[in-house]
């Protein structure tokens, strides 16, 4: 990046530049994405708002700086009774050294001491503050592990797109992506593998097969046999995939504890996985996933999707999905433009809670975006382009 001019940092993530020239060259790792993207952006004068957060994130990705993973500052967590004021605790702890309250959430108070780590020993674990017991311990956050096997060089990034909608980028390591893709492709070679389903009398622009329970695109229901296709029994859901989904949810819960009310999904027992394969000319029209049981939908039990292979443009409508259609069959939502997210290989997309009825679809699958190591594994279309595999896990009962 080259720049000249002034920058006013307004917020850790946002800055306004004055009279800048901003030039940026991005190089994505060929190993990860199988292609090199070099973009250049240039702005002259005027005020440009830069999202430093995403810039920093990108730098972490491209330059593999270890500083992104450096240890967090010294912090302590105390189990604080709700009736106890933060100031009271801070005042108490200040007898050990100068400190400030960083945040208070879910019964914990995060206090950062300005001095060195040695203070941990000095502070001790058991305290009596205003006649009440207080435990002080080293913050556990640093010790938390991802259940999912992630690539340390490509840290996951959790994006909450709206209430009940979460996009986790880089969740699955390349090794894990390869294993899942191999497993799915090998399952698909069984007799109950991929076929092209029909929806409302038209062939869908993808190929599909199910694990656990079969989604019948004609009757809009789930069954144990491929009722709309060849009548064969549906393949069983492999236990490792079920565990993976449970692990993703538990990672999300753990990592998002401070914003738990926003990204916390009800517990889920995934019993079905729909596997879709898209060629680079494939797509999926905007729809709602409503064929699962009423209880599952009403409880906001999420649909969790894993993307593998080529990247795709995922569309979703940010409106309330239950707006009734008027007599022309139009619903107010069409007037509201859909939003989109780019789903890359290894990303997870989740919608549940109040967004369980989210309208969504796949607008486009991009050629030459499949990670090199997956090209061999994922089926290619007629032109030799690797397609996209998508696994959506649901609790249908
Ligand atoms: O391919 C995707 O990401 C979405 C799939 C989907 O919406 C579905 O199978 O219902
Ligand atoms: Fe869907």
291-324 confidence digits (pLDDT tens): 999 999 999 999 999 999 999 999 999 875 554 4
**Which pLDDT score is estimated for 139?**
57
Say which range, 11-15, 200-204, 226-230, 333-337, has the weakest mean pLDDT.
11-15
- According to DSSP, the residues that pair with 19 across neighbouring strands are none
Rounded CA gap, 389 and 182, in Å? 11
Mean pLDDT, range 279-289, rounded to an integer? 96
The response to whether residue 80 sits with its C-beta less than 6 Å from ligand 1 reads no
Q: Is the dihedral of CA 136, 139, 143, 148 positive or negative?
A: positive
CA distance 62 to 182: 28
Question: In this structure, are residues 342 and 312 in contact, taking their beta carbons and an 8 Å threshold?
Answer: yes
**Domain map (residue ranges) of the chain:** 2-69, 74-138, 157-394
Average pLDDT over residues 268-297: 96
**Does the beta carbon of 284 sit less than 6 angstroms from any atom of ligand 1?**
yes
207 lines ligand 1 (CB under 6 A): no
CA 287 from chain centre, in angstroms, equals: 20
Q: CA torsion 217→198→364→270, rounded to 10°?
A: 20
Give residue 116's pLDDT band: very low, low, confident or very high (50, 70, 90): low
Which tokens sit at 350?
């989740």
Highest mean pLDDT among 11-15, 131-135, 255-259, 339-343: 339-343
H/E stretch holding 339: strand 339-343
The span from the CA of 153 to the CA of 170, in Å, is 10
Residue 199 has pLDDT above 70, yes or no: yes
Q: Greater confidence, 396 or 259?
A: 396
What integer pLDDT is reported at residue 129 of this predicted model? 83
Q: Is 251 in the pocket of ligand 1 (CB under 6 A)?
A: no
Q: How far is the CA of 155 from the centre of ligand 2 (A)?
A: 27
Q: Helix, strand or coil for residue 81?
A: coil
Q: pLDDT tens digits, residue range 236-267?
A: 999 999 999 988 988 887 776 555 455 578 88
Percent of the chain with pLDDT over 90: 46
Higher pLDDT, 154 or 186: 186
Q: Nearest ligand to the C-alpha of residue 209?
A: 1
- What is the band of 229 on the pLDDT scale with cuts at 50, 70, 90? very high
C-beta atoms surrounding 239 within 10 Å: 8
The whole-number pLDDT of residue 2 equals 32
- Supply the pLDDT for residue 66: 33
More confident residue, 156 or 259: 156
Q: Which residue has the higher pLDDT, 142 or 240?
A: 240
Cα separation, 78 vs 72, in Å, equals: 17
The answer to whether 22 touches 7, Cβ cutoff 8 Å, is no
Average pLDDT, the chain: 76
Would you say residue 14 has pLDDT above 50? no
- 66's CB contacts (< 8 A; 6+ apart) are none
Q: What is the pLDDT of residue 340?
A: 94
Mutate to test the pocket of ligand 1, among 279, 392, 393, 396 (most ligand atoms within 8 A of CB): 392
Of residues 208 and 53, which shows the higher confidence score? 208
Ligand 1 contact, 292 CB (< 6 A): no
Q: Which residues surround ligand 2, an ion (CB under 5 A)?
A: 289
Q: Which ligand is nearest to the CA of 276?
A: 1
Beta carbon of 33 within 6 Å of any ligand 1 atom: no
CA distances from 176 to 61, 241, 279 (A): 19, 11, 22
Taking 70 as the threshold, does the pLDDT of residue 158 lie above it?
yes
What separation in Å is there between the alpha carbon of 351 and the centre of ligand 2?
Answer: 10
> What kind of fold does domain 74-138 have according to CATH?
Alpha-Beta Plaits (3.30.70)
CATH number of 157-394: 2.60.120.590
Which ligand is closest to the CA of 362, given by its number? 1
pTM: 0.65
Quick one: 391 exposed, middle or buried, by C-beta within 10 A (0-12, 13-18, 19+)? buried
Q: Is 386 in the pocket of ligand 1 (CB under 6 A)?
A: no
Supply the residue whose CA is at minimum distance from atom 10 of ligand 1. 289
Residue 318 has what pLDDT? 83
Interatomic CA distance for residues 97 and 115, integer angstroms: 7
What per-residue string of b and e applies to 114-137 under the rule 16 or more CB within 10 Å gives b?
Answer: eeeeebbeebeeeeebeeeebebe
Which atom of ligand 1 lies closest to the CA of 343?
Answer: 3
Stated as kind and residue range, the H or E segment containing 176 is helix 174-188
Residue located via tokens 């994922």: 378
Categorize the per-residue pLDDT at 377 as very low, low, confident or very high, splitting at 50, 70 and 90. very high
Return the higher-pLDDT residue of 354 and 56. 354
pLDDT for residue 77: 61
Is residue 78 scored above 60 in pLDDT?
yes
How far is it between the farthest Cα atoms of the chain?
Answer: 75
Q: How confident is the model at residue 82 (pLDDT cuts 50, 70, 90)?
A: confident
pLDDT of residue 68: 35
The predicted model gives 225-235 an average pLDDT of: 96
Which residue is closest in CA terms to ligand 1's atom 1? 390
**Ligand 1 atom having least distance to the Cα of 388:** 1
Best-predicted range by mean pLDDT among 90-104, 146-160, 339-353? 339-353
């Amino acid at each position: 990046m080259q720049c000249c001019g002034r920058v006013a940092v307004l917020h850790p993530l946002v800055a306004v530049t004055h009279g800048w020239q901003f030039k940026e060259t991005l190089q994505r790792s060929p190993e990860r994405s199988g292609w090199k993207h070099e973009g250049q952006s240039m702005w002259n004068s005027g005020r440009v708002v830069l999202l430093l957060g995403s810039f920093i994130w990108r730098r972490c990705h491209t330059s593999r700086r270890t500083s992104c993973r450096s240890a967090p500052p010294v912090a302590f967590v105390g189990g604080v009774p709700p009736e106890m004021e933060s100031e009271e605790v801070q005042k108490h702890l200040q007898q050990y050294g100068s400190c400030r309250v960083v945040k208070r959430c879910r019964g914990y108070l995060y206090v950062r001491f300005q001095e060195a780590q040695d203070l941990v020993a000095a502070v001790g674990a058991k305290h009596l503050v205003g006649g009440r017991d207080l435990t002080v311990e080293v913050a556990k956050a640093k010790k938390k592990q991802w259940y999912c096997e992630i690539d340390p060089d490509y840290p996951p990034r959790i994006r909450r797109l709206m209430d009940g909608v979460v996009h986790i980028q880089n969740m699955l390591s390349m090794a894990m992506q390869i294993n899942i893709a191999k497993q799915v492709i090998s399952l698909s070679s069984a007799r109950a593998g991929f076929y092209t389903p029909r929806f409302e009398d038209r062939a869908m622009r993808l190929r599909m097969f199910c694990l656990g329970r079969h989604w019948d695109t004609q009757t809009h229901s789930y069954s144990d046999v491929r009722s709309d296709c060849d009548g064969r029994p549906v393949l069983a859901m492999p236990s490792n995939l079920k565990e993976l989904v449970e692990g993703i949810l538990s990672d999300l819960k753990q990592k998002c504890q401070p914003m738990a009310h926003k990204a916390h999904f009800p517990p889920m027992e995934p019993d079905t996985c729909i596997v879709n394969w898209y060629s680079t000319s494939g797509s999926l029209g905007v729809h709602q996933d409503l064929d699962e049981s009423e209880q599952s939908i009403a409880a906001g039990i999420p649909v969790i999707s894993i993307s593998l292979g080529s990247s795709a443009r995922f569309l979703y409508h940010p409106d309330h999905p239950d707006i009734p259609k008027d007599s022309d069959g139009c619903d107010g939502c069409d007037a509201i433009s859909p939003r989109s997210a780019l789903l890359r290989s290894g990303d997870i997309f989740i919608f549940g809670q109040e967004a369980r009825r989210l309208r969504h679809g796949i607008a486009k699958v991009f050629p030459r975006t499949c990670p090199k190591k997956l090209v061999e594994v994922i089926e290619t279309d007629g032109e030799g382009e690797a397609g996209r595999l998508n696994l959506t896990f649901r609790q249908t009962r």
